Amino acid sequence: MDSSKYALPVGTTLDRFIMRKQEDFPYATGELSQLLRDIALAAKIVNREINRSGLIDIAGAYGDQNVQGEDQQKLDVIANIRFIRALRNGDEVCTIISEEDDELIQTGNVQGKYVVAIDPLDGSSNIDVNVSIGTIFSIYRRVSPTGRAGTVADCLQRGTHQVAAGYVIYGSSTMLVYTTGNGVNGFTYENSLGEFFLSHPAIQIPQSGNIYSVNEGSSDSFSPGVAAFVKQCKGQQFSARYIGSLVADFHRNLLKGGIYLYPATAKGPQGKLRLMYECNPLAFIVEQAGGRSSNGASRTMEIEPQAPHERCPIFIGSRELVERVEAFLAKEKAAEATELVARA
């Protein structure tokens, strides 16, 4: 009997997939695999909290205290606690950068070989209105010796040094998408079984697309290059799609082709999004899927980070579209230089 129809890669559970991938590296110790599983477990718990969140205000259904007897908190704080706890309980991570904490978080696992940067809940303005939100994470190998707390140098590495990155999207279905530098795979959560199953193997982003995603409420303060690019998109009858949750906007464009832009604006001269736990992880994923991410002048993952919470402009998505906006920005820069020379 031909059993090849039973050999489809889709349907594999996330745990098994991680295990199989680990077998590809003969000297792997399994710590990174365990770390990914810890993140997946926290994602399941956060998914449950998000699904219940609509009930928080309904008296009796989900009181103002959680099962641990703690006061009910905002979901982004809850998500932060869940992920940090999961990472502390595992032994793999020494230090964490979280959007929800100004300071670096030392887990106490001084033997941990990894550092994690995380946006526990992305798209927080969409929580109360039942719109897709997400979690974004990035994993680095520490550079300082084990046996003591992780350092700022461990945390502030270029995106090119990431060993893994991923996101969870809590949407019409919940998905976990991640890369360890060997392609991008997406897993869909099956609620009743409590498992993530491989549903999107070897994701590739289309080289071009006709979706642009930007907050046009800020268009008055776009630079001439960004404004020219957006004008061109409109001239070519692109679709404008902007959810306001980076993860959701990114995920759609990853699957369908398109570009997400968060440029410098009057409100945010450095853009809004954070390099370590929003831009770099998605840049790693998009590049692994054949796309591109840039701050307008250079590749996102080559930016030398200066601070855990620094922001940077981002243009991310289908390669051809990102290169197009970069060309507009290069022209803008050249024009500025010519003007300076003319004035001198």
Q: Does 38 bind Mn ion (CB under 5 A)?
A: no
Comparing CB distances to ligand AHG, the nearer of 246 and 254 is: 246
Which positions from 102 to 131 touch ligand AHG by CB under 6 A, shown as an x/- string? Answer: -----------------x--xxx-------
Q: What's CA 109's distance to the chain center, in Å?
A: 25
Q: Distance (Å, rounded) from C-alpha 184 to C-alpha 286?
A: 8
Least distance (Å) from ligand AHG to the CB of residue 129?
Answer: 13
Comparing CB distances to ligand AHG, the nearer of 94 and 177 is: 177
Comparing CB distances to ligand AHG, the nearer of 124 and 199 is: 124
Q: Which stretch binds ligand AHG (CB under 6 A): 84-92, 244-252, 288-296, 317-325?
A: 244-252
Helical packing angle, 280-288 and 246-256, nearest 10°: 10
Q: Distance (Å, rounded) from C-alpha 6 to C-alpha 47?
A: 30
Interface size with ligand AHG, residues (CB under 6 A): 10
Q: Which stretch binds ligand AHG (CB under 6 A): 48-56, 107-115, 162-170, 238-246?
A: 238-246
Least distance (Å) from ligand AHG to the CB of residue 60?
Answer: 30
Q: Please report, as residue ranges, which positions from 252 to 311 form the binding site for ligand AHG (by CB under 6 A).
A: 272
Determine contact, residues 179/285, Cβ cutoff 8 Å: yes
Residues β-bridged to residue 71: 65
Which residue of 73, 215, 219, 232 would you call a contact of ligand AHG, by CB under 6 A? 215
Helical packing angle, 31-52 and 75-89, nearest 10°: 150
Least distance (Å) from ligand AHG to the CB of residue 259?
Answer: 13
Least distance (Å) from ligand AHG to the CB of residue 272?
Answer: 5
Question: What single DSSP character describes residue 104?
Answer: P
Which residue of 38, 49, 91, 119 would you call a contact of Mn ion, by CB under 5 A? 119
Nearest to 159 by CA among 273, 28, 323, 39: 273
Alpha-carbon torsion, ordered 299, 305, 311, 316, to 10 deg: 20
Determine contact, residues 125/237, Cβ cutoff 8 Å: no
Q: Does 154 bind Mn ion (CB under 5 A)?
A: no
Least distance (Å) from ligand AHG to the CB of residue 11?
Answer: 31
Least distance (Å) from Mn ion to the CB of residue 174?
Answer: 17
245 binds, among ligand AHG, Mn ion, none (CB under 5 to 8 A by kind): ligand AHG
Q: What sign for the dihedral angle of Cα 111, 114, 117, 121?
A: negative
Q: Please report, as residue ranges, which positions from 133 to 192 form the binding site for ligand AHG (by CB under 6 A).
A: none
Determine contact, residues 148/165, Cβ cutoff 8 Å: no
Count of CB atoms situated within 10 Å of the CB of 186: 22
> What values do phi and psi take at 60, rounded to 5?
90, -35
Residues β-bridged to residue 267: none
> What values do phi and psi take at 8, rounded to 5?
-60, 140
Least distance (Å) from Mn ion to the CB of residue 97?
Answer: 12
Q: Does 245 bind ligand AHG (CB under 6 A)?
A: yes
Which residue of 41, 48, 219, 244 would you call a contact of ligand AHG, by CB under 6 A? 244
Q: Please report, as residue ranges, which positions from 67 to 106 form the binding site for Mn ion (by CB under 5 A).
A: 99
Maximal CA-CA distance, the chain: 81
Least distance (Å) from Mn ion to the CB of residue 284?
Answer: 16
Nearest to 250 by CA among 265, 262, 239, 232: 262
> Interface with ligand AHG by CB under 6 A: which residues?
99, 119, 122-124, 215, 244-246, 272
Binding site for Mn ion (CB under 5 A): 99, 119, 121-122
